[in-house]
A and B are shown apart, each in its own frame.
Chain A
C-alpha cells in the first residue's frame, strides 16, 4: 500500500512534466520546427540556399550583405552613421528629421535601430517612474504599481488605434494645435510615433523592474555612504546606482527584444514604408511567399532567442532579496519643493502619454463631423445585420474572442502552474523543462502563427493519416502558447518564496510530495494563479500577431483582427470596436480577479 503510493508519488511529477512537454511540442515546437524546416529543407535535402539568399540581399541586411566580399563597407557604413545617431528628433514638433538608415542597414538593421531608439525612450520615460514608486508614499501607490503591468496586456492593435486617434491627421493633437492657431503636424507613418508607442508599452516595465530593485536595496547602505562623507548625489551614484544597474539593464534588454519583435504597432502606425522584419514576414505570408517568410522568421528567431538567452542568464544571477530595511518613502503630497515639482511634471507627462491615447480612442468613437454621435456604433450593429459573408461581423468577432479566451485559459493555466512547479522544485529534468518552456517568450506571434498555419491548419501526415486542424483550434493553440509563460511567471516566484522547511514539516508529518503540493504549496500561491489567469485571458483577447495570420480567409477572426480590418477604411468604426475591446478586456480582468477573491484561501 505504502509502496504503491510511493511509486505513484515518484512518478506523478515527472509524468506531469512529460505531458506538459508533449503539449508544448504539439502547440509550439512542431509548428516552429516547420517554419525552420521550410527555411533549410528543399526537395528532401538540407540546404542553406534560402537563408543565404536573405543574408546576401542588401534589402534585408543593407551594407552587411556585401561585407563578406568587401569588409571595408562596414566601416564606411558605420562611421558617418554614428555621427548622425546623435541628432535624432532635433526639430521635434513641426517637421521631424531623424536618420533613416534602412537603405544602409537594410530591413534587419532598421528593425534593430528602431528597437534601440524605443529602448532609449522607454528607459528615459520609465526611470523617473521607478524613482516615484520606490521613494514616494501616496494614496494608491500599490494600485499604480499594479497598473504598470497593464500596458503589457493591452491589445496592441487597440493601442495603435489610440495613437492614430491622438496623433493622426484628424487626431486630438492636431485639433489642439488648430485651436491654438498653430500649424498641424503629420506624425502618422513616422518613426517617432512608433518609438513612442513602444515606450508606451515598455516604460512601465522598466519602471516596475527598477522600482523592485530599488526597494530591495537596504536603507543602511546609502546611510553608511552618507555617514562616511558622501553627498546625497555621490551616495546615489557610488552606492545605489550600481545596485540598480542590473535591473535597468534587464528592463532595457526586454524592451529591446519586444520592440524588435513588435508587429501590430508597426503595421498600423508605420505601414510597409517603415516595415520591420516581423511586418515583412507577414507581408510575404500574405503574398504566399512562404520560403522567404520562413527564412526571415528563422533568422529573426535565432537573434531573439540569443537575446532572450542572454536575458535569462543575466536575470538568474540577480534574484532580488527583500531588504532588511527598505528605504524610507517621502510623502508625495506636501509643500511644493524642487523634488515634488519635478515629480508632478513627470506625472503630467505620464498622463499625456498613457491616458491620452485611450481617451482619444473613446472620444473618437463618439464624435463625428458634426459633434457627438453614436453613428460608429450603429455602423457596427448594421454590419452585423446586413454584412456580406466575406465581411467581418462585429458580434462574431466578440463571440470568437471570448470563446478563444476561455479555451486558452483552460490550457494555459494548468500548463503554466505545472511548469512553475517543475521549474521551482527538484524534479528530474526540471532544468530542461524550464529552458524549453521559456522559448515561446522569444518567438514572435507571427512566427508561431506561421508555424501553426503550415503545420496544423494546412495539415500534416502522421502514420499515413492526414491531420488538419480548424483555424479556431489553431488560434487557441497560439494564444495558449503566448499566455502560459505569464501564468508561470506569476506563480513561480511565489512558489520559490515558500520556506523549504514548511514543505519539509508537512513531509515529516506524513504527507507525500504530491499532497504537500496540493495541501500546502498551491493554496499559498492561489493569488498568483488567479493573476496569471487574468493575464492569460487578457493576452488571448488582445492577441493580434498570430491570429491575423491564422484567421486570414476564415471566419476565425477576433476583435483585434476586426479592428485592423476597419482601420484602413473607417477610423470611426475601428475606434468603436476598440472601445468594445477595452470594455471586454477590463470586465474579464475584473471578473477573474473577483472570482479569485471569492474563492478565498
Chain B
C-alpha cells in the first residue's frame, strides 16, 4: 500500500485545459473520492494517477517516489471503469487471471487459487466458467473489481464504477466496495459525480470544479463548512445569500440582504470581515424553521415535492429562490421562517 501525492498537475488537451494545477495527497489505505459535475477534471485526475494520461506539467508520486515516467503497466494500479471493460472473449476466471500473467500471485498462491479467492471476495463463487455476457451489470462490475484486485495493486482506482447500475443495486454495491476496501486496506481513489455517494463512502473527498480543486476534507467538514459557494451549492442543498456587513456584535455579523438585516455567526468563516465588506453565507434548508425566533423572513411558496417523511418546497424571497424542508406539504401560500445565527456558514 502506498500514499499518493499530486503536485501541480496540469493537463492541457489540444486547446482546452482539462486540469489547472491540481495538488492532492491521498494517505495510505485511505478511501479518497473525487467528486464534481461532468467535465470538472475528476476523471482526468484519476487517469493521470493511473498513468493512462500524461500530465502536461507537475508530478505524480507514490510513497514519495516520482512515477510520472513509469508506464501504466508498471505502476501496479488496479482500475475499474464505468463500462466494466471485461474482455469479451475470455471467461470470468480468465478475466480475473489476466493480470497474473504479468505478476505472481501474492502469498505463494497459485493463479487458480487466487482467482477462486477473489471470486469469493466479490461474492461470485463458482462463476469462473461463465462468459461475461451471461452476467448482469452488477455481476460484471464485481468481476471487473476482482480482476483489478487480483495482482494485489498498490492503488485501486474506480472511475464512476456504478453509474451504469440502477439506484438500489448501486447502494448495495457501494457498501460492498467499501467493505472490501476496508478489509484489504488498499489505497483507493474513487471518482463520482454523485455528491451523496461521495459523502456516504469516503474517508475524505475533494470537490472539483472547472479543472481545479475547490475543497478537500472529510464528508462532515465539506458538508458543514463548505469553503466556496460552488461547494455550498454542489454538496447537498443550500440557500446562498449575499449582502453588505453593517455591524459586528461580539461573535455575530450583521448583514443587510434586501430589506432585512440577518445576524450570522462570524467564527464559522475563515476570513475576518469588516463593516462595509460584501459577504456570502449559506443556510441549509433543514435549518430554515417556521418556529425559529431570529432572522425571520417571509417566503412565498411555489412548487412542492413530497419525498416521503419530508417535503421539499421551492419558494421565493427578495427575488431569489429559497428551498425549504418541511415535515409535510404546506396548506398556505406563504410562510415566515427563521434560522439560528450558528446555523449560517459565512463563505
Q: Do A and B come from one complex?
A: yes
Is there contact, CB below 8 Å, between B102 and A501?
no
Flag if A508 contacts B87 (CB, 8 Å).
Answer: no
Interface pair A504/B74, CB less than 8 Å apart: no
CB of B209 within 8 A of chain A?
no
Query: In the complex, which residues of chain A have a beta carbon less than 8 angstroms from the beta carbon of B86?
Result: 502
Inter-subunit contact A511/B79 (CB<8 Å)? no
Taking a contact as CB atoms closer than 8 A, the residue among B50, B85, B148 that contacts A499 in the complex is: B85
Contact of A508 among B73, B82, B88 (CB under 8 A): B73
B80 to chain A, nearest CB (A): 8
What's the minimum C-beta distance from B219 to chain A, rounded to whole angstroms? 28
In the complex, identify which listed stretch (A260-268, A361-369, A517-525) lies at the interface while the others stay far away: A517-525
Tell me which of B81, B99, B151 contacts A501 (CB under 8 A): B81
Find out whether the CB atom of A504 lies under 8 angstroms from the CB atom of B81.
Answer: yes
How many angstroms between the C-alpha atoms of A524 and B132 in the bound complex?
14
A463 within 8 Å of B (CB atoms) = no
Chain B nearest CB from A513 CB (Å) reads 8
| B89/A601 in contact, CB under 8 A | yes
A510 in contact with B102 (CB, 8 Å) = yes
Whether A509 sits at the interface, judged by CB under 8 Å, is: yes
For A510, list chain B residues within 8 Å (CB).
73-74, 76, 99, 101-103, 151
Does the CB pair B85–A509 fall under 8 Å? no
Docked Cα-Cα span, A506 to B102, in Å, equals 11
Q: Interface 1/0s, chain A 26-57, versus B by CB < 8 A? A: 00000000000000000000000000000000
1/0 contact trace for A119-158 toward B, CB 8 Å?
0000000000000000000000000000000000000000
Interface SS of B by simple majority: loop
Q: Is A505 an interface residue (CB 8 A)?
A: yes
Q: Which residue of A lies closest to B103 (CB)?
A: A510
A509 x B151 contact (CB < 8 A): yes
Question: Using an 8 Å CB-CB cutoff, how does the interface string of A233-255 with B read, 1 for contact, 0 for none?
Answer: 00000000000000000000000
Between A502, A510, A519, the greatest number of chain B beta carbons within 10 A of the residue's beta carbon is seen for: A510
In the complex, chain A residues whose CB is within 8 Å of the CB of B76: 510
Q: Does A570 contact B (CB under 8 A)?
A: no
A501 touches B83 (CB 8 A): yes
| Residue B257 interfacial (CB < 8 Å) | no
Note all chain A residues with C-beta closer than 8 A to B77.
508
Contact A524 to B102, CB < 8 A, known contacts A2-B74, A508-B72, A508-B79: no
Q: How far is the CA of A519 from the CA of B90 in the complex (A)?
A: 10
Distance between A106 CB and nearest chain B CB, rounded to angstroms? 48
CA of A509 to CA of B153, assembled, Å: 9
Interface of A is mostly: helix
| A502 neighbours in B (Cβ, 8 Å) | 85-88
Smallest Cβ distance from B95 to chain A, in angstroms?
9
Q: Is A184 on the interface with B (CB-CB < 8 A)? A: no
Closest to B76 in A: A510
State whether B87 touches A509 (Cβ < 8 A): no
Q: Does A329 contact B (CB under 8 A)?
A: no
Contacts of B87 in A (CB 8 A): 502, 505-506, 520
Whether B79 and A504, one on each chain, are in contact in the complex, defined by CB atoms closer than 8 angstroms, is yes
Asked if B81 contacts A519 (CB within 8 A), the reply is no
Mark interface residues in B232-249 (1 if CB within 8 Å of A CB, else 0). 000000000000000000
Interface size class of A (residues with CB under 8 A): 10 to 19
Considering the chains assembled together, what is the distance between the CA atoms of A502 and B52 in angstroms?
A: 12
Complex Cα gap A583–B22 (Å)? 67
Contact of B147 with A by CB under 8 A? yes
Within the assembled complex, what's the spacing in Å between the Cα atoms of A4 and B286? 61
Interface centre among A508, A511, A601 (most CB of B within 10 A): A508
The reply to whether A507 and B89 form a contact with Cβ atoms under 8 Å apart is no
Residues in chain A near residue B98, CB distance under 8 A: 506, 509, 511, 519
Indicate the member of B74, B89, B98, B157 with the most A CB atoms within 10 Å. B89
A585 to B171, CA, bound (A): 58
Q: Does A315 touch B at the CB level, under 8 Å?
A: no
Question: Quick one: closest B residue to A516, CB to CB?
Answer: B73
A6 contacts B by Cβ under 8 Å: yes
| A555 touches B (CB below 8 Å) | no
Tell whether A25 is near chain B: CB-to-CB under 8 Å.
Answer: no
A232 to chain B, nearest CB (A): 36
Q: A501-B85, A505-B85 are in contact. Are A6 and B99 (CB under 8 A)?
A: no
For residue B298, which residues in chain A have a CB less than 8 angstroms away from its CB?
Answer: none
A507 B103 Cβ-Cβ under 8 A: no
Residue A512, interface by CB 8 Å: yes
Residue of B nearest to A506 (CB): B98
The reply to whether the CB of B329 lies closer than 8 angstroms to some CB of chain A is: no
Q: Are B89's CB and A509's CB within 8 A?
A: no
Whether A6 and B79, one on each chain, are in contact in the complex, defined by CB atoms closer than 8 angstroms, is no
Contact of B72 (CB < 8 Å), options: A501, A507, A601: A507
Q: Closest residue of chain B to A503, judged by CB?
A: B85
Chain A residues with CB under 8 Å of B78's CB are: 508-509
Please, how many angstroms separate the alpha-carbon atoms of A499 and B132 in the complex?
Answer: 15
CB-defined contacts of A512 to chain B, threshold 8 Å: 73
Contact A509 B102 (CB under 8 A): yes
> Does chain A have a CB within 8 A of B71?
yes
List, in ascending order, chain B residues with CB within 8 A of A519's CB. Answer: 98
Known: A2-B74, A6-B71, A601-B89. A505 touches B147 (CB 8 A): yes
CB distance A505 to B88 under 8 Å? no
B144 CB-CB contact with A under 8 Å: yes
Complex CA gap A519/B87 in Å reads: 10
Q: Are A508 and B102 also in contact (CB < 8 A) when A499-B85, A501-B85, A524-B88 are?
A: no
CB closest chain-B residue, reference A10? B71
Contacts of A499 in B (CB 8 A): 83, 85
Do residues B73 and A523 form an inter-chain contact, with CB atoms below 8 A?
no
In the bound complex, CA of A501 to CA of B141 (Å): 13
Residues of A within 8 A of B51 (CB): 508
Q: Are A524 and B81 in contact (CB under 8 A)?
A: no
For chain A residues 481-506, which have a beta carbon within 8 Å of chain B? 499, 501-502, 504-506
Q: Which residue of B lies closest to A505 (CB)?
A: B85
Q: Which residues of B contact A (CB under 8 A)?
A: 50-52, 71-79, 81-83, 85-89, 98-99, 101-103, 144, 147-148, 150-151, 157
The 4 closest A-B pairs by CB, nearest first: A510-B102, A509-B99, A501-B81, A501-B85
Q: Contact residues of A with B, CB < 8 Å?
A: 2, 6, 499, 501-502, 504-512, 519-520, 523-524, 601
8 cross-chain CB contacts under 8 A: A501-B81, A501-B83, A504-B85, A505-B87, A507-B52, A509-B73, A509-B102, A510-B102
- 4 other contacts beyond A508-B72, A523-B89, with CB at 8 A cut-off? A502-B85, A504-B50, A506-B98, A524-B89
